[in-house]
Amino acid sequence: MSKRFEGARVLVTGATRGIGAACAKAFLAEGARVAINGRSEGSVEKAMPEMGRLAVPAPGDVATVAGCEAAVEAALAAFGGLDVLVNNAGVFLKQSIADTDERGWDAVMNANVKSVQFCTRAALPALVESKGNIVNVASEAGLNGYPETTAYCASKGAVVNLTRAMAMELAPDIRVNAVCPGVVETDLSRSGFAVEGDADEGIRRQHLAYPLHRIGTLEEAAGCCHVNSDPVAGFDQFG
């Protein structure tokens, strides 16, 4: 029985940890070839042993245009094309409006928004050729505002609307979707929601804030990316 993504060529940005790593592993488990992006060669090299033989390194700081282009070029050099781009890379900043300076604001916007625009631009010719898919990892915080996270909410709101614009512009050649997870337990959420340095207490409070009294898992977030990466009817053969 063939696997769901057998032969698919996938690039996942921010794939060395958290949702990105879970997403990459899930694609690999379904037969895809996956380019693993991380900010530095060292971070990617450290993550590669967990990924398996179908993974290739694609380092590049996607908060910069040069890093976006480097990551895409590495994927194309390895695979000769691209079927799925998962724009996952991002950072979280828990900080008041008064405490958010220009440096912090720019760091969030570059990592969370610029990366989506310029990874997409770099991958565009390959995705048009393959009739591929783009999944942008936004956040529930891009749909609702929260205190002490204004830069993050603004960045993820930008990703949501950027996705809408991309979907209209790139159709029918490329399908573009966003996923908007709520809180998922990752190293970033543990540090970001820590209460006076206590990560366990911060996560406990996040669990209690939801009606089900639990936050999302990495596997659930990765599953959302998969659902939105399935090939469009009529273009169901990966190259």
Question: What 3-state class would DSSP assign to 148?
Answer: coil
Token pair for residue 173? 């050649």
Nearest residue to 75 via CA among 143, 4, 125, 5: 125
Taking the C-alpha atoms of residue 225 and residue 221, their distance in angstroms, rounded to an integer, is 7
Token pair for residue 196? 């006076």
Residue 146 annotated in active site? no
Ramachandran category for residue 144: left, alpha or beta (phi over 0 → left; psi -120 to 50 → alpha): beta
Nearest residue to 84 via CA among 180, 218, 175, 167: 175
Question: What is each CA distance from 123 to 34, 64, 88, in whole angstroms?
Answer: 14, 15, 15
Please identify which of the residues 79, 152, 193, 238 carries the catalytic annotation. Answer: 152
Eight-state DSSP code of residue 23: H
In 19-172, which ranges are E strands? 33-36, 55-57, 84-87, 133-137
Taking the C-alpha atoms of residue 31 and residue 189, their distance in angstroms, rounded to an integer, is 29
Catalytic residues: 152
